[in-house]
Structure 1
Amino acid sequence: MAKRLTKIMVFIVLGLLVLLIALIALYWAADKSVADLERWQLPNSEFVDVQEMQAHVVRSDKCEMFRNQAKINEAVNASTSLPKTVVLLHGTSASLHTWQGWTHELSDDYCVISMDLPGFGLTGPYTDESTQYDSANYAKFVIDVLDHLEVGRVTLAGNSLGGKIAWRTAALYPERVNNLILVDAVGYPATPKQVPIGFKLAKYPILTPLLSRVLPRDVVKKSILSVYADDSKVDEALVDRYYDLTLRQGNRLALNRRLLEMDNTANQAQIKQLNLPTLILWGAQDDLIPVENAKLFHRDIANSQLKVFDNLGHVPHEEDPVATVKVVKQFLLGEQIDE
């Protein structure tokens, strides 16, 4: 009887091993270099040397004009701030491309700057492997990019992880932020209705060697679907972008570290200390960070306005850029927002 059980266990282990090998062979996905991902560079993409990384940054045409005006102001001891500069920060596993709709709508009137944060997009992971993927280090990265671009005070907008980085930057560097725009932002405890499967898997260190070598495209697609309210808006081109940029060399390992080192619910006390005009945008169909958290931000930030979009999910700026940026334009003009 014991021998029979031993044989059965051996067959089960061998079967699982064969299945694992088959899955690895089927879903093997090698890292890609920035050169391999050139198709995802935009016409105005640039790579700036920040913290020994080549940070992928995109600036709209108005930025150079505003920068020259700031230099003129400095020469005559006038204000050197750039109140018409809007900086956009993406969320976990996204990239600066998520803001293309907003950038298109805002670029006629504003200097719009977007960037791939460390560990994502074409920027890739921190060169210094000892650097943690926490909000304080991300805030420092944002400031270093702005310093490199010679940009002073800005309106800072962020979605999800980028939202936390935005309000942390405002808290840590208040002299650099005029206004805040928080889009389905991280900051308070949340019980997600569903979590992207890629996030779930990346939390297990034992899977890191495997996850850094394989990437089922269907997992990426399901993760995107989980943050959209309208599945019909998730087309193959969108999935291609998220899939390809996840393969950027080092990004998969960085995602694993990010999810292990995240400080999502830390520093909440700083939210109540914020004292600047703030617009809070939220998708009511957000299954990752519930709309109740939007109300917490609105409660704790004295000078804030809240707008909820009934039919949008966790990335409302990407799912419906036209409707969401319309509210942003009103806010930037100092108008009162209808809830």
Structure 2
Amino acid sequence: MKSKSSKKKYWLYTLLIALILAINSAVYSDISVDDLKVEYANEHSKFIEIDGMQVHYRIEGEGFPIVLIHGTASSLHTWNAWTKELKKTNTIIRMDLPAFGLTGPNKSADYSIKSYTTFLDQFLNQIAIDSFHLAGNSLGGNIAWNYAAEHPNKVDKLILVDASGLPTNKPQPAVFKMAKTPVVSNLFLYVTPKFFIKKNMKEVYADDTKIANDLVSRYHKMALRKGNRQAFIDRARMDFKLGSKANIDKLKSIQNSTLLIWGAQDNWIPLDNGKRMDSVMQNSKLVVLENSGHLPMEENPEESVAILKDFIEIR
């Protein structure tokens, strides 16, 4: 018969083995950009060098340009449905921002809004686009309205989809808190299970049934792109708070005709933020999508793109 001491050791060893197996099953190696290109680049994909980065972008369609900017941990693929519709009447330009998608990290690890607006201007200058509608979601929306404030003559109409840039008056999403915690963030560089990605997607979608397996796989694989996990941590640690007054003053300065599209069920950047943006901007219109979360262009693309088309008067 086993002693109590032996039984205790047995259960400790069992627990240790279970923990090791759990960690091993959640450890994912980096994926090379060349391997990801096979699956996530297509005939429209191009690469352009900016500050040592090979920036992945696509230009599709003909007509007046619309530039689309994705949010944190996303990629240009978030605009697939919008692009399919809008390229019938317009030239659609989208890119993977530094730190994300196939573009990956920049050498300076500077992911401030100023760095992003500078990057956007460099990118648009290199592809010779100087007049366009500008749309952005979340972080991309933050970049878009800051860019419009700095380059008002280049932007015709501005479209902000659940844009960041004002305090949310609620705790940060757990994934950002984790990235700011030293021990946890170091673990994130190796332990990035697929279920963790799906959990975060459930936070930004209003309807979980719309989260398809291939969608989760794309977000997961893009997160594993070599350098992207460290870049996400660096980006999450950036302090975007210039102070609410500074941001409000900058928002007030924007004269461009602006459409605010907001998911009523956005748990990351709540509808109240959209209402506050609308109240301080000089020439804005807020449209609320009752059945959308943080990513209306993914979750309800037909409804959200119809609102955009009406705003820019596509018939």
Name the TM-score, length of structure 2 as normaliser: 0.90
Q: 1:228 to 1:194 in 2, by over 3 A?
A: farther
- Mapped to 2, the partners of 1:262 and 1:16 lie a distance apart of 40
1:207 deviates by 2.3
Q: Quick one: structure 1 residues 192 and 231, their matched pair in 2 at CA, closer, same or farther if it must change by over 3 Å?
A: farther
Does structure 1 conserve the Cα–Cα contact (< 8 Å) formed by 2:61 and 2:89? no
* Counterpart amino acid of residue 109 in structure 1: T
- CA RMSD, 1 decimal: 2.3
**C-alpha offsets along residues 125-152 of structure 1, whole Å, 9 cap, x if unaligned?**
00x23x4211110111111111111111
Structure 1's 191 and 146: CA in aligned 2 closer, same or farther, altered over 3 A?
A: same
Residue 5 of structure 2 corresponds to none
Q: Which residue in the other structure is 1:277 paired with?
A: 257
Q: 1:218 aligns with which of 173, 188, 195?
A: 195
Q: 1:33 to 1:306 in 2, by over 3 A?
A: same
8 Å Cα contact 1:29-1:247 kept in structure 2: yes
- Displacement of 1:24 after TM fit? 2.8
Q: Following the alignment from structure 1 to structure 2, what is the Cα–Cα distance between the partners of residues 137 and 155? A: 21
Sequence identity percentage: 40
1:153 Cα shift?
1.6
Cα 1:22–1:156, aligned 2, differ >3 Å: closer, same or farther? same
Contact 2:89 2:314 in 1 (8 A): no
Is 1:151 equivalent to 2:149 in the alignment?
no
When residues 95 and 264 of structure 1 are mapped into structure 2, their CA distance, relative to the original with a 3 A threshold, is farther
Number of aligned pairs? 304
- Contact 1:187 / 1:265 at 8 angstroms: preserved in 2? no
Q: Deviations over 1:183-236 (max 9, x none)?
A: 0000111144882x4333222122233211121110000111110001110010
Taking the aligned partners of 1:133 and 1:20, their CA distance within structure 2 comes to 35
**TM-aligned CA deviation for residue 41 of structure 1:** 1.0
d(CA) in 2 for partners of 1:150 and 1:122?
22
CA distance in 1, matches of 2:169, 2:251: 20
Between the aligned partners of 1:15 and 1:167, the Cα distance in structure 2 is 54
* Paired residues of 1:87 and 1:113 also in contact (CA < 8 A): yes
2:184 is the counterpart of 1:207: yes
Counterpart amino acid of 1:29? Answer: Y
**Any stretches of 5+ residues in structure 1 without a counterpart?**
1-7, 67-83
* 1:80 corresponding residue in structure 2: none
Which has the higher mean CA deviation after the structures are superposed, 12-21 or 162-171? 12-21
- Alpha-carbon separation, structure 2, partners of 1:24 and 1:238: 24
**Match of residue 23 from structure 2:** 24
Q: Aligned ranges for residues 297-308 of structure 1 at < 5 Å?
A: 297-308=277-288
Which letter does structure 2 place at the counterpart of 1:314? Answer: H
Question: Deviation string for 1:278-301 (max 9, x for gaps)?
Answer: 000000010111101111111111
Amino acid at match of 1:157: A
Answer yes or no: is 1:164 the counterpart of 2:122. Answer: no
Equivalence map 1:123-202=2 (5 Å):
123-126=103-106, 128-129=107-108, 131-192=109-170, 195=173, 197-202=174-179
Unaligned 5+ segments in structure 2 are 1-7
Residues 198, 219 of structure 1: 8 Å contact kept: no
Distance 2:79 2:302 in 1: 11
Match for 1:289 among 269, 273, 280?
A: 269
Who is 1:73 aligned against?
Answer: none
Q: Specify whether residues 225 and 193 from structure 1 end up closer, same or farther in structure 2 by C-alpha distance, changes over 3 A only.
A: farther
Q: Secondary structure at the residue paired with 1:57?
A: strand
Over 3 Å counting, the alpha-carbon distance change for 1:210 and 1:303 in structure 2 is same
CA distance in 2, matches of 1:17, 1:137: 45
The 5 A counterparts of 1:5-154 are 21-37=20-36, 38-62=38-62, 84-126=64-106, 128-129=107-108, 131-154=109-132
Q: Provide the rounded CA distance (Å) in 2 between the counterparts of 1:274 and 1:13.
A: 62
Using the alignment, how far apart are the partners of 1:61 and 1:97 within structure 2? Answer: 16
Q: Cα gap change, 1:249/1:165 in structure 2, threshold over 3 Å: closer, same or farther? A: same
Q: Is the contact made by 1:88 and 1:158 (CA closer than 8 Å) also made in structure 2?
A: yes
